[in-house]
Amino acid sequence: MAFPRSTIASSSGSFASSKRNVKLQADHPCKCDMPSRMKISRTPYNSGKKIKFSSRTPKCNFWEGLEEDNYAIEKNNDLGQIYNLTLKLGNLENEISICRKKLEEKKNSDLVFRQELDKVKWKLFTHKVALFVLFFLYVKDVVLKVGCVLCILFDVF
């Protein structure tokens, strides 16, 4: 069977782009123990041939050419459906973990903002206290000056 590795591995654009040509093969996992996928090659050398490859292609790089008679594809295959549901469940779990991470990041950023707000509130409080003390001292000084002026005017001493 003619499946030159360089032709299949290097021509990612040679596969049909629609997902209808991709079939899961849950009973034939690749080397990374993930169920493999099957596409029909569109390369000049292997046009129309079935090729099994990893569903994690960028990480695994597994591929294998299939004979026409081997591995008949069944749309209602229970193992395929189980794999599809498992894959969807895994994707949902990943989305949940991503949402949890985003929520934690938001909580952390909210905590930082709350801490900054508390610092600003504390500064405002200390400035108000300082302003009150300065006002009190000013009033006291004014009262003393007015008292001294009255004493001088009425010669109370």
Classify residue 80: in a domain, yes or no: no
Classify residue 135: in a domain, yes or no: no
Confidence bin at 130 (pLDDT 50/70/90): very high
Classify residue 63: in a domain, yes or no: yes
Domain count, the chain: 1
- Structural domain of 66: 10-71
How high is the pLDDT of residue 30? 64
CA distances from 77 to 22, 32, 82, 121 (A): 15, 22, 9, 65
57-90 pLDDT per residue, tens: 566 767 677 765 444 444 456 777 888 888 889 8
3-28 pLDDT per residue, tens: 444 444 444 444 444 444 455 555 55
Global model pTM greater than 0.85 = no
Distance CA 95, CA 24 (A): 22
